[in-house]
Structure 1
Amino acid sequence: MTNTDVSHTNRQTLVRAARELSDSVDLLSFADPVTHVYNPLSYARKSHEAYLGWVGEDVKVVLLGMNPGPWGMAQTGVPFGEVAAVRDWLQIDQPVDKPPIEHEKRPVEGFQCQRSEVSGRRLWGLFRDQFETPDAFFENHFVLNYCPLVFMESSARNRTPDKLPAEEREKLTAVCDAHLLTVIRTLDPDHLVGVGVYAEACLKRVVQIEGCRATVTRILHPSPASPASNNDWAGKVTKQLKSAGVW
Protein backbone atom coordinates (compact mmCIF):
# COMPACT_ATOMS: atom_id res chain seq x y z
CA MET A 1 0.00 0.00 0.00
CA THR A 2 1.41 3.40 -1.00
CA ASN A 3 1.56 6.41 1.30
CA THR A 4 -1.28 7.97 -0.65
CA ASP A 5 -3.37 4.84 -0.13
CA VAL A 6 -2.62 4.87 3.61
CA SER A 7 -3.60 8.51 3.91
CA HIS A 8 -6.82 7.90 1.97
CA THR A 9 -7.69 4.88 4.11
CA ASN A 10 -6.99 6.81 7.32
CA ARG A 11 -9.19 9.66 6.16
CA GLN A 12 -12.06 7.30 5.31
CA THR A 13 -11.78 5.66 8.73
CA LEU A 14 -11.75 9.00 10.55
CA VAL A 15 -14.70 10.33 8.56
CA ARG A 16 -16.71 7.21 9.33
CA ALA A 17 -15.72 7.39 13.01
CA ALA A 18 -16.67 11.08 13.23
CA ARG A 19 -20.09 10.39 11.72
CA GLU A 20 -20.65 7.54 14.18
CA LEU A 21 -19.57 9.78 17.07
CA SER A 22 -21.92 12.52 15.88
CA ASP A 23 -24.86 10.12 15.68
CA SER A 24 -24.06 8.62 19.09
CA VAL A 25 -23.83 11.91 20.99
CA ASP A 26 -27.06 13.10 19.37
CA LEU A 27 -28.83 10.25 21.19
CA LEU A 28 -27.69 11.51 24.59
CA SER A 29 -29.75 13.90 26.71
CA PHE A 30 -28.59 16.57 29.14
CA ALA A 31 -30.62 18.21 31.89
CA ASP A 32 -30.51 21.59 33.61
CA PRO A 33 -28.44 23.64 34.03
CA VAL A 34 -27.54 22.71 30.43
CA THR A 35 -30.16 24.24 28.15
CA HIS A 36 -28.39 24.24 24.75
CA VAL A 37 -26.13 21.63 23.13
CA TYR A 38 -24.31 22.26 19.87
CA ASN A 39 -22.90 19.40 17.78
CA PRO A 40 -20.61 20.89 15.10
CA LEU A 41 -19.86 17.40 13.74
CA SER A 42 -23.42 17.56 12.45
CA TYR A 43 -24.15 21.13 11.36
CA ALA A 44 -20.53 21.83 10.32
CA ARG A 45 -19.91 18.37 8.85
CA LYS A 46 -18.60 19.67 5.52
CA SER A 47 -15.82 21.71 7.07
CA HIS A 48 -14.99 19.02 9.65
CA GLU A 49 -14.59 16.42 6.94
CA ALA A 50 -12.51 18.85 4.90
CA TYR A 51 -10.28 19.13 7.97
CA LEU A 52 -10.01 15.34 8.22
CA GLY A 53 -8.72 15.45 4.67
CA TRP A 54 -5.47 16.87 6.07
CA VAL A 55 -4.62 13.67 7.92
CA GLY A 56 -1.22 12.33 6.86
CA GLU A 57 0.00 8.78 6.36
CA ASP A 58 2.65 8.89 9.11
CA VAL A 59 1.13 10.66 12.10
CA LYS A 60 3.55 10.52 15.02
CA VAL A 61 1.86 13.08 17.30
CA VAL A 62 -1.83 13.37 18.19
CA LEU A 63 -2.86 16.41 20.23
CA LEU A 64 -6.16 16.21 22.09
CA GLY A 65 -8.35 19.05 23.32
CA MET A 66 -11.40 18.82 25.58
CA ASN A 67 -14.40 20.11 23.60
CA PRO A 68 -15.29 22.91 21.18
CA GLY A 69 -15.21 26.56 22.12
CA PRO A 70 -18.17 28.79 21.15
CA TRP A 71 -16.08 30.94 18.79
CA GLY A 72 -13.84 28.17 17.47
CA MET A 73 -14.96 24.68 16.53
CA ALA A 74 -18.57 25.64 17.22
CA GLN A 75 -18.27 28.01 14.25
CA THR A 76 -15.92 26.12 11.91
CA GLY A 77 -16.20 22.43 12.76
CA VAL A 78 -12.41 22.26 13.20
CA PRO A 79 -10.73 21.49 16.55
CA PHE A 80 -9.50 24.75 18.13
CA GLY A 81 -10.92 26.20 14.92
CA GLU A 82 -10.34 29.93 15.16
CA VAL A 83 -11.94 31.33 12.02
CA ALA A 84 -8.92 33.12 10.53
CA ALA A 85 -6.58 30.18 11.16
CA VAL A 86 -8.96 27.69 9.56
CA ARG A 87 -9.79 29.87 6.59
CA ASP A 88 -6.40 31.44 5.88
CA TRP A 89 -3.91 28.78 6.95
CA LEU A 90 -5.81 25.50 6.61
CA GLN A 91 -7.63 26.83 3.52
CA ILE A 92 -11.00 25.52 4.69
CA ASP A 93 -14.10 27.63 4.09
CA GLN A 94 -17.15 25.40 3.81
CA PRO A 95 -20.82 26.26 4.34
CA VAL A 96 -21.89 25.83 7.98
CA ASP A 97 -25.50 25.23 8.98
CA LYS A 98 -27.19 26.01 12.29
CA PRO A 99 -27.73 23.81 15.36
CA PRO A 100 -31.39 22.80 15.84
CA ILE A 101 -31.80 25.05 18.88
CA GLU A 102 -29.55 28.10 18.92
CA HIS A 103 -28.82 30.34 21.89
CA GLU A 104 -29.33 33.98 20.94
CA LYS A 105 -26.10 34.95 22.71
CA ARG A 106 -24.09 32.23 20.96
CA PRO A 107 -25.12 32.40 17.32
CA VAL A 108 -23.43 30.11 14.81
CA GLU A 109 -22.29 32.31 11.94
CA GLY A 110 -19.71 29.93 10.50
CA PHE A 111 -16.87 31.61 8.68
CA GLN A 112 -18.68 34.95 8.90
CA CYS A 113 -18.13 34.99 12.66
CA GLN A 114 -16.19 38.09 13.69
CA ARG A 115 -15.17 36.74 17.09
CA SER A 116 -11.74 35.18 17.50
CA GLU A 117 -11.15 32.20 19.79
CA VAL A 118 -7.91 32.92 21.64
CA SER A 119 -7.12 29.26 22.34
CA GLY A 120 -7.34 28.39 18.66
CA ARG A 121 -5.40 31.45 17.59
CA ARG A 122 -2.58 30.53 19.95
CA LEU A 123 -2.50 26.82 19.10
CA TRP A 124 -2.67 27.07 15.31
CA GLY A 125 -0.43 30.15 15.43
CA LEU A 126 2.28 28.08 17.12
CA PHE A 127 2.00 25.37 14.48
CA ARG A 128 2.09 27.92 11.68
CA ASP A 129 5.21 29.56 13.13
CA GLN A 130 6.97 26.21 13.67
CA PHE A 131 6.02 24.45 10.43
CA GLU A 132 5.10 27.30 8.05
CA THR A 133 2.75 25.16 5.94
CA PRO A 134 -0.15 22.86 6.85
CA ASP A 135 1.42 20.11 4.73
CA ALA A 136 4.54 20.17 6.88
CA PHE A 137 2.53 20.11 10.11
CA PHE A 138 0.06 17.39 9.15
CA GLU A 139 2.76 15.14 7.77
CA ASN A 140 3.36 13.96 11.35
CA HIS A 141 0.74 15.72 13.52
CA PHE A 142 -2.98 15.67 14.04
CA VAL A 143 -5.34 17.58 16.36
CA LEU A 144 -8.77 16.53 17.60
CA ASN A 145 -11.16 17.12 20.49
CA TYR A 146 -12.19 14.45 22.95
CA CYS A 147 -15.84 15.53 23.13
CA PRO A 148 -17.52 17.11 20.08
CA LEU A 149 -20.29 18.90 21.96
CA VAL A 150 -20.66 22.46 23.24
CA PHE A 151 -22.73 22.77 26.43
CA MET A 152 -24.38 26.03 27.44
CA GLU A 153 -26.51 27.16 30.34
CA SER A 154 -29.49 29.51 29.97
CA SER A 155 -27.21 32.51 30.53
CA ALA A 156 -25.02 31.26 27.63
CA ARG A 157 -22.31 30.38 30.12
CA ASN A 158 -20.12 27.57 28.83
CA ARG A 159 -20.31 24.30 30.76
CA THR A 160 -17.43 21.88 30.29
CA PRO A 161 -17.94 18.09 30.10
CA ASP A 162 -16.22 17.49 33.44
CA LYS A 163 -18.95 19.54 35.15
CA LEU A 164 -21.80 17.32 33.94
CA PRO A 165 -23.64 15.09 36.44
CA ALA A 166 -22.07 11.65 36.87
CA GLU A 167 -24.71 9.72 34.95
CA GLU A 168 -24.59 12.07 31.95
CA ARG A 169 -20.81 12.18 32.08
CA GLU A 170 -20.46 8.39 32.13
CA LYS A 171 -22.60 7.93 29.04
CA LEU A 172 -20.72 10.66 27.20
CA THR A 173 -17.37 9.22 28.28
CA ALA A 174 -18.23 5.77 26.93
CA VAL A 175 -19.00 7.20 23.49
CA CYS A 176 -16.01 9.55 23.38
CA ASP A 177 -13.58 6.91 24.66
CA ALA A 178 -14.67 4.56 21.88
CA HIS A 179 -14.06 7.25 19.25
CA LEU A 180 -10.66 8.15 20.70
CA LEU A 181 -9.67 4.48 20.66
CA THR A 182 -10.57 4.29 16.98
CA VAL A 183 -8.42 7.33 16.20
CA ILE A 184 -5.44 5.95 18.14
CA ARG A 185 -5.72 2.52 16.51
CA THR A 186 -5.99 4.10 13.07
CA LEU A 187 -3.11 6.57 13.33
CA ASP A 188 -0.86 4.57 15.73
CA PRO A 189 1.10 7.63 16.90
CA ASP A 190 4.28 7.71 18.98
CA HIS A 191 3.06 10.56 21.18
CA LEU A 192 -0.33 11.50 22.61
CA VAL A 193 -0.42 15.08 23.88
CA GLY A 194 -3.19 16.32 26.13
CA VAL A 195 -3.91 20.00 25.67
CA GLY A 196 -4.61 20.62 29.33
CA VAL A 197 -5.20 18.38 32.35
CA TYR A 198 -8.62 17.02 31.34
CA ALA A 199 -7.45 15.84 27.91
CA GLU A 200 -4.35 14.24 29.41
CA ALA A 201 -6.55 12.28 31.86
CA CYS A 202 -8.72 11.06 28.96
CA LEU A 203 -5.65 9.87 27.08
CA LYS A 204 -4.23 8.04 30.10
CA ARG A 205 -7.53 6.26 30.66
CA VAL A 206 -7.92 5.16 27.05
CA VAL A 207 -4.29 4.08 26.74
CA GLN A 208 -4.79 1.73 29.70
CA ILE A 209 -7.79 0.21 27.95
CA GLU A 210 -5.95 -0.19 24.68
CA GLY A 211 -2.45 -1.00 25.90
CA CYS A 212 -1.23 1.59 23.40
CA ARG A 213 2.50 1.98 22.79
CA ALA A 214 2.33 5.78 22.57
CA THR A 215 3.66 7.94 25.37
CA VAL A 216 1.24 10.40 26.98
CA THR A 217 2.26 13.92 27.89
CA ARG A 218 0.58 17.26 28.51
CA ILE A 219 1.01 20.84 27.38
CA LEU A 220 -0.30 24.03 28.93
CA HIS A 221 -3.81 24.82 27.71
CA PRO A 222 -3.86 28.00 25.57
CA SER A 223 -7.01 29.39 27.17
CA PRO A 224 -6.74 32.98 28.42
CA ALA A 225 -8.61 31.77 31.53
CA SER A 226 -5.30 30.27 32.62
CA PRO A 227 -2.97 33.03 33.93
CA ALA A 228 0.10 30.99 32.99
CA SER A 229 -1.05 30.95 29.34
CA ASN A 230 -1.09 34.72 29.03
CA ASN A 231 2.67 35.11 29.27
CA ASP A 232 4.59 33.53 26.37
CA TRP A 233 2.32 30.50 25.97
CA ALA A 234 4.02 29.49 22.72
CA GLY A 235 7.48 29.59 24.29
CA LYS A 236 6.39 27.54 27.31
CA VAL A 237 4.66 24.91 25.19
CA THR A 238 7.58 24.63 22.79
CA LYS A 239 9.83 23.87 25.77
CA GLN A 240 7.32 21.31 27.07
CA LEU A 241 7.16 19.52 23.74
CA LYS A 242 10.93 19.46 23.37
CA SER A 243 11.43 18.28 26.95
CA ALA A 244 8.97 15.41 26.36
CA GLY A 245 10.76 14.38 23.16
CA VAL A 246 7.77 15.22 21.00
CA TRP A 247 9.71 17.92 19.13
Structure 2
Amino acid sequence: MEPEVMSSFFYQEKPCNKNLDLCNEFLDLIDELNNNLEQLHLPKKVPFGEIESVRNWLHITGPVGKPPKELHSRRVEGFNCSRSEISGARFWGLFKKLCGKPENFFRSSFVYNYLPQQWMRSNGANVTPGEFSALDMTALFDICDPTFIKVLEIYEVEIIIAIGKFCEKRAQKALKKYLPESKIQILYLPHPSPRAVNNTNWEEKALESLKNFNLLQYYT
Protein backbone atom coordinates (compact mmCIF):
# COMPACT_ATOMS: atom_id res chain seq x y z
CA MET A 1 0.00 0.00 0.00
CA GLU A 2 1.30 3.45 -0.87
CA PRO A 3 2.11 5.72 2.10
CA GLU A 4 -0.67 8.13 2.97
CA VAL A 5 0.78 11.63 3.15
CA MET A 6 -0.38 13.33 6.32
CA SER A 7 1.86 16.40 6.29
CA SER A 8 5.38 17.29 5.24
CA PHE A 9 6.99 14.79 7.58
CA PHE A 10 4.30 12.42 8.85
CA TYR A 11 2.96 9.39 7.02
CA GLN A 12 1.37 6.01 7.64
CA GLU A 13 1.77 2.85 5.55
CA LYS A 14 -1.67 1.59 6.56
CA PRO A 15 -5.11 3.16 7.01
CA CYS A 16 -5.29 5.04 10.27
CA ASN A 17 -7.56 7.03 12.50
CA LYS A 18 -6.14 10.52 12.18
CA ASN A 19 -7.79 11.57 15.44
CA LEU A 20 -5.68 8.99 17.25
CA ASP A 21 -2.49 8.82 15.20
CA LEU A 22 -1.92 12.47 14.38
CA CYS A 23 -2.88 15.67 16.12
CA ASN A 24 -5.45 17.30 13.84
CA GLU A 25 -4.98 20.51 15.75
CA PHE A 26 -1.40 20.62 14.49
CA LEU A 27 -2.56 20.27 10.88
CA ASP A 28 -5.12 23.02 11.43
CA LEU A 29 -2.38 25.28 12.75
CA ILE A 30 -0.22 24.63 9.71
CA ASP A 31 -3.16 25.38 7.42
CA GLU A 32 -3.78 28.60 9.33
CA LEU A 33 -0.13 29.59 9.11
CA ASN A 34 0.06 28.90 5.39
CA ASN A 35 -3.17 30.79 4.75
CA ASN A 36 -1.82 33.80 6.63
CA LEU A 37 1.49 33.65 4.82
CA GLU A 38 -0.37 33.42 1.53
CA GLN A 39 -1.44 37.02 2.08
CA LEU A 40 2.18 37.96 1.43
CA HIS A 41 2.10 36.12 -1.92
CA LEU A 42 5.28 34.19 -1.22
CA PRO A 43 6.00 30.54 -2.11
CA LYS A 44 6.27 27.86 0.58
CA LYS A 45 8.76 25.02 0.84
CA VAL A 46 9.37 21.74 2.66
CA PRO A 47 12.02 22.18 5.39
CA PHE A 48 15.25 20.37 4.54
CA GLY A 49 13.46 19.04 1.46
CA GLU A 50 16.29 17.11 -0.16
CA ILE A 51 14.69 14.86 -2.79
CA GLU A 52 16.61 11.66 -2.06
CA SER A 53 15.97 11.87 1.69
CA VAL A 54 12.31 12.85 1.40
CA ARG A 55 11.42 10.19 -1.15
CA ASN A 56 13.63 7.26 -0.18
CA TRP A 57 14.02 7.64 3.60
CA LEU A 58 10.93 9.54 4.73
CA HIS A 59 8.88 7.79 2.00
CA ILE A 60 6.91 10.91 1.14
CA THR A 61 5.40 11.20 -2.32
CA GLY A 62 2.79 13.35 -3.99
CA PRO A 63 2.27 16.26 -6.37
CA VAL A 64 4.13 19.52 -5.80
CA GLY A 65 2.39 22.71 -6.90
CA LYS A 66 3.89 25.78 -8.52
CA PRO A 67 3.69 29.43 -7.42
CA PRO A 68 1.61 31.83 -9.56
CA LYS A 69 4.81 33.48 -10.78
CA GLU A 70 7.68 31.09 -11.38
CA LEU A 71 11.28 32.14 -11.95
CA HIS A 72 12.63 30.78 -15.21
CA SER A 73 16.00 30.16 -13.52
CA ARG A 74 14.46 28.25 -10.59
CA ARG A 75 11.53 26.29 -11.94
CA VAL A 76 9.63 24.11 -9.46
CA GLU A 77 10.09 20.50 -10.57
CA GLY A 78 8.93 18.72 -7.42
CA PHE A 79 10.17 15.15 -7.15
CA ASN A 80 11.56 15.37 -10.68
CA CYS A 81 14.21 17.81 -9.50
CA SER A 82 17.69 16.41 -10.10
CA ARG A 83 19.51 18.84 -7.79
CA SER A 84 20.55 17.83 -4.29
CA GLU A 85 19.83 20.20 -1.41
CA ILE A 86 22.97 20.13 0.74
CA SER A 87 21.33 21.22 4.00
CA GLY A 88 18.71 18.49 3.73
CA ALA A 89 21.22 15.86 2.70
CA ARG A 90 23.33 16.67 5.75
CA PHE A 91 20.44 16.93 8.21
CA TRP A 92 18.44 13.87 7.20
CA GLY A 93 21.61 11.97 6.37
CA LEU A 94 22.80 12.36 9.96
CA PHE A 95 19.56 11.08 11.46
CA LYS A 96 19.34 8.27 8.95
CA LYS A 97 22.72 7.07 10.23
CA LEU A 98 21.66 7.44 13.85
CA CYS A 99 18.06 6.19 13.67
CA GLY A 100 18.03 3.73 10.80
CA LYS A 101 14.29 4.18 10.25
CA PRO A 102 12.38 7.49 10.27
CA GLU A 103 9.96 6.07 12.84
CA ASN A 104 12.81 5.98 15.36
CA PHE A 105 13.43 9.69 14.83
CA PHE A 106 9.78 10.66 15.19
CA ARG A 107 9.30 8.74 18.45
CA SER A 108 10.85 11.67 20.30
CA SER A 109 11.21 14.47 17.77
CA PHE A 110 9.59 16.32 14.90
CA VAL A 111 10.82 19.00 12.52
CA TYR A 112 8.97 22.29 12.53
CA ASN A 113 9.73 25.00 10.01
CA TYR A 114 9.25 28.31 11.81
CA LEU A 115 9.07 30.22 8.53
CA PRO A 116 7.98 27.98 5.62
CA GLN A 117 8.93 30.50 2.98
CA GLN A 118 11.60 30.93 0.35
CA TRP A 119 12.77 34.15 -1.24
CA MET A 120 14.81 34.37 -4.42
CA ARG A 121 16.40 37.12 -6.43
CA SER A 122 15.57 37.50 -10.11
CA ASN A 123 18.67 35.46 -10.96
CA GLY A 124 17.46 32.57 -8.77
CA ALA A 125 19.85 33.18 -5.85
CA ASN A 126 18.40 32.50 -2.40
CA VAL A 127 17.64 35.38 -0.03
CA THR A 128 17.76 34.45 3.67
CA PRO A 129 15.77 36.14 6.49
CA GLY A 130 19.03 37.53 7.84
CA GLU A 131 19.33 39.73 4.75
CA PHE A 132 16.14 41.66 5.57
CA SER A 133 15.87 44.56 7.99
CA ALA A 134 14.14 44.01 11.34
CA LEU A 135 11.29 46.26 10.21
CA ASP A 136 10.72 44.19 7.08
CA MET A 137 10.44 41.01 9.15
CA THR A 138 7.98 42.30 11.76
CA ALA A 139 4.87 41.30 9.80
CA LEU A 140 6.22 37.77 9.38
CA PHE A 141 7.10 37.40 13.05
CA ASP A 142 3.61 38.53 14.06
CA ILE A 143 2.23 35.64 11.98
CA CYS A 144 4.80 32.96 12.79
CA ASP A 145 5.41 33.49 16.52
CA PRO A 146 1.86 32.72 17.76
CA THR A 147 1.63 29.60 15.59
CA PHE A 148 5.03 28.44 16.82
CA ILE A 149 3.88 28.84 20.43
CA LYS A 150 0.66 26.88 19.77
CA VAL A 151 2.71 24.01 18.31
CA LEU A 152 4.89 23.96 21.43
CA GLU A 153 1.79 23.81 23.60
CA ILE A 154 -0.14 21.08 21.80
CA TYR A 155 2.92 18.81 21.70
CA GLU A 156 4.04 19.74 25.23
CA VAL A 157 7.55 20.37 23.91
CA GLU A 158 10.30 20.22 26.52
CA ILE A 159 13.37 20.87 24.36
CA ILE A 160 13.81 22.98 21.24
CA ILE A 161 16.86 22.24 19.11
CA ALA A 162 17.20 25.43 17.12
CA ILE A 163 18.88 24.80 13.77
CA GLY A 164 20.80 28.00 13.09
CA LYS A 165 21.06 31.34 14.85
CA PHE A 166 17.92 32.72 13.24
CA CYS A 167 15.76 29.95 14.72
CA GLU A 168 17.50 30.19 18.08
CA LYS A 169 16.81 33.92 18.27
CA ARG A 170 13.17 33.53 17.22
CA ALA A 171 12.58 30.76 19.75
CA GLN A 172 14.06 32.88 22.52
CA LYS A 173 12.01 35.94 21.62
CA ALA A 174 8.75 34.02 21.13
CA LEU A 175 9.05 32.23 24.47
CA LYS A 176 9.93 35.46 26.25
CA LYS A 177 6.91 37.23 24.77
CA TYR A 178 4.24 34.51 24.87
CA LEU A 179 5.44 31.99 27.48
CA PRO A 180 7.66 33.94 29.89
CA GLU A 181 7.28 31.34 32.65
CA SER A 182 8.08 28.41 30.38
CA LYS A 183 10.80 25.94 31.32
CA ILE A 184 11.34 24.82 27.72
CA GLN A 185 15.03 24.46 26.95
CA ILE A 186 16.45 26.03 23.80
CA LEU A 187 19.55 24.28 22.49
CA TYR A 188 21.53 25.36 19.45
CA LEU A 189 22.87 23.42 16.48
CA PRO A 190 24.64 25.16 13.59
CA HIS A 191 22.68 25.25 10.36
CA PRO A 192 23.83 22.58 7.88
CA SER A 193 23.85 25.06 5.00
CA PRO A 194 27.21 25.40 3.23
CA ARG A 195 26.62 29.17 3.39
CA ALA A 196 26.83 29.16 7.19
CA VAL A 197 30.01 30.56 8.73
CA ASN A 198 32.57 28.04 10.04
CA ASN A 199 30.44 25.16 8.81
CA THR A 200 33.05 22.57 7.91
CA ASN A 201 32.56 19.08 9.41
CA TRP A 202 28.89 19.84 10.19
CA GLU A 203 27.98 16.24 10.97
CA GLU A 204 30.87 15.86 13.41
CA LYS A 205 29.93 19.09 15.17
CA ALA A 206 26.24 18.15 15.31
CA LEU A 207 27.03 14.74 16.81
CA GLU A 208 29.28 16.32 19.41
CA SER A 209 26.55 18.82 20.34
CA LEU A 210 23.88 16.12 20.64
CA LYS A 211 26.25 14.15 22.85
CA ASN A 212 26.93 17.18 25.05
CA PHE A 213 23.18 17.85 25.29
CA ASN A 214 22.69 14.20 26.36
CA LEU A 215 20.26 13.68 23.47
CA LEU A 216 21.96 10.92 21.48
CA GLN A 217 20.09 8.39 23.62
CA TYR A 218 16.87 9.31 21.78
CA TYR A 219 18.28 8.56 18.33
CA THR A 220 20.51 5.52 18.79
Q: With structure 2 as the length reference, what TM-score do the two structures score?
A: 0.84
Offset of residue 93 of structure 1: 1.0
- The 1:225/1:92 distance shift into structure 2, 3 A limit, reads same
- List alignment gaps of at least 5 residues for structure 1: 30-36, 41-72, 74-78
Q: Which residue number in structure 2 is paired with residue 225 of structure 1?
A: 195
Distance 1:144 1:169 in 2: 19
Offset of residue 236 of structure 1: 1.1
- List alignment gaps of at least 5 residues for structure 2: 1-17
Distance 2:43 2:127 in 1: 12
Amino acid at match of 2:166: Y
Kindly report the root-mean-square deviation, in angstroms, between the aligned alpha carbons of the 2 structures: 1.7
Q: Which residue number in structure 1 is paired with residue 37 of structure 2?
A: 25
Is 1:191–1:246's contact at 8 Å kept on the other side of the alignment?
Answer: no
Q: How far does the alpha carbon of each residue in 1:126-148 deviate from its partner, in whole angstroms, 9 at most, with x for none?
A: 11100100111100011121111
Matched, 1:212 2:182: yes
Matched, 1:130 2:135: no
Amino acid at match of 1:220: P
Q: The residue matched to 2:160 in structure 1 has which SS?
A: strand
Q: How does 1:113-192 map to 2 (within 5 A)?
A: 113-192=81-160
Partner residue of 1:238 out of 196, 207, 215: 207
Q: How far does the alpha carbon of each residue in 1:104-163 deviate from its partner, in whole angstroms, 9 at most, with x for none?
A: 111110000000000000000111100100111100011121111111122222111232
Partner residue of 1:82 out of 47, 50, 54: 50
Q: Which residue number in structure 1 is paired with residue 169 of structure 2?
A: 201
Offset of residue 5 of structure 1: 5.6
Is 1:162–1:169's contact at 8 Å kept on the other side of the alignment?
Answer: no
Distance 2:30 2:108 in 1: 20
Q: Which residue number in structure 2 is paired with residue 39 of structure 1?
A: 44
Offset of residue 222 of structure 1: 0.7
Q: The residue matched to 2:56 in structure 1 has which SS?
A: helix
Q: The residue matched to 2:182 in structure 1 has which SS?
A: coil
Q: How far does the alpha carbon of each residue in 1:59-112 deviate from its partner, in whole angstroms, 9 at most, with x for none?
A: xxxxxxxxxxxxxx3xxxxx2010000000000011111111111111110000
Distance 2:21 2:211 in 1: 27
Distance 1:39 1:243 in 2: 34
Distance 2:131 2:144 in 1: 16
Distance 1:6 1:237 in 2: 33
Is 1:192–1:216's contact at 8 Å kept on the other side of the alignment?
Answer: yes
Distance 2:130 2:36 in 1: 19
Distance 2:197 2:186 in 1: 24
Amino acid at match of 2:150: T
Distance 1:157 1:170 in 2: 23
Question: What is the aligned length?
Answer: 197
